[in-house]
């Protein structure tokens, strides 16, 4: 590694919680409105900053399911809480700013969204 490459550490997976929520929705214990509640900002980020998930939405079956990365961190200032591409995250950590990257799946059709993982992005 050159020292400028992004290294992802301390991954926390939320896939079990996702599977449990979908199980509860399918069983009728949770309403569709409760699982399909993406706000305008998240839907806009999915449209402009998201990449195709490569799998259908688990709620409506749409092929438009998107993956969005949000960055958070005390060192980020106004960049905190914004959607960013892999390239932008690499530039941010190369500038010496660690970031927590939240990977979220979002369906623009039905508004399904769920946090998949959270990782710390740093340079090597």
Domain ranges of the chain: 6-123
With contact defined as beta carbons under 8 Å apart, do 116 and 104 qualify?
yes
pLDDT score at 4:
64
Q: Which residues pair with 115 in a beta bridge?
A: 104
CB 120 within 8 A of CB 7: no
- CA within 13 Å, CB half, 108: 17
- In DSSP terms, 6 is beta-bridged to 123
In 10 A of CB 19, how many CB atoms?
12
pLDDT of residue 75: 87
Cα dihedral across residues 93, 81, 119, 117: positive or negative: negative
**pLDDT tens track for 64-77:** 999 999 999 988 98
Distance CA(48)–CA(124), nearest Å, equals 29
Q: How confident is the model at residue 43 (pLDDT cuts 50, 70, 90)?
A: very high
- Residue 12 CA to residue 119 CA, distance in Å, equals 6
pLDDT for 3 beyond 60: no
pLDDT digits (tens, 9 = 90+) for 94-109: 998 889 999 999 999 9
Token pair 């949000």: residue = 70
């Amino acid at each position: 590694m050159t020292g400028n490459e992004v290294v992802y550490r301390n991954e926390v997976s939320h896939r079990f919680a996702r599977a449990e929520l979908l199980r509860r929705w399918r069983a009728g214990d949770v309403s569709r409105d409760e699982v399909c509640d993406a706000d305008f900002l998240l839907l806009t980020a999915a449209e402009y900053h998201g990449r195709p998930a490569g799998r259908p939405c688990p709620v409506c079956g749409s092929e438009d399911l998107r993956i969005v990365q949000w960055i958070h961190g005390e060192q980020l200032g106004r960049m905190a809480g914004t959607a960013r591409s892999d390239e932008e995250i690499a530039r941010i950590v190369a500038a010496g700013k660690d970031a927590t990257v939240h990977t979220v799946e979002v369906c623009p059709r039905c508004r399904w969204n769920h946090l998949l993982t959270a990782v710390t992005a740093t340079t090597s």
